[in-house]
Amino acid sequence: MKKYEAVIIGGGQAGLAMGYFLKKEKLSFVIIEKNGEIGDSWRQRYNSLVLFTPRQYSSLPGLQMRGTSDDFPTKDDMADYLNDYVKHFDLPVMLDTNVIQLNKLPDGSFIIETNSGIIKAQQVIIAAGAFQKPYIPPLNKDGTGAFQLHSSEYRSPEEVPGGEVLIVGGGNSGA
């Protein structure tokens, strides 16, 4: 069983920034990431995705994004930056690792069961993101069998059948 002072579940921006600060404090920790490479959650998003904040505001603590500070990074720029961030600060990451179960012990410590083994930690930080399971409401009640696609599955306009399109949601994904 591996033991750490802290375990971070999620290797995105929040998890990596937390790792940066834990490393500065010289604490033993590991970042658990379900994907095969840091930044893969960005790489898997739709092809034309561009962040809505410029590079100067999209950087994590301690390392500025490369490129012109007023430019808006693409999804691949962000993915590459996160990967570079891990390498630059030599952050410990367990890739291809899924958390199966998390239990708090009577002494206040935690047991994390993963597909890569059991981990014990004094603290656990959940940085897995807010929306891990897409929800598609049951809109096909009339039996028309209309094509439905969640924004997490969308990659490009070519995959959407011709005709009229209804976008539900006025957030960044809908826009």
pLDDT at 158: 82
pLDDT at 157: 80
pTM: 0.83
- 159 pLDDT band, cuts 50/70/90, is confident
8 phi, psi to nearest 5 deg: -105, 125
123, exposed or middle or buried, with CB in 10 Å at 0-12, 13-18, 19+?
middle
Give the domain 2-126 fold: FAD/NAD(P)-binding domain (3.50.50)
Query: Mean pLDDT over residues 90-107, rounded?
Result: 97
pLDDT digits 0-9 by tens, 15-41: 999 999 999 999 999 999 999 999 999
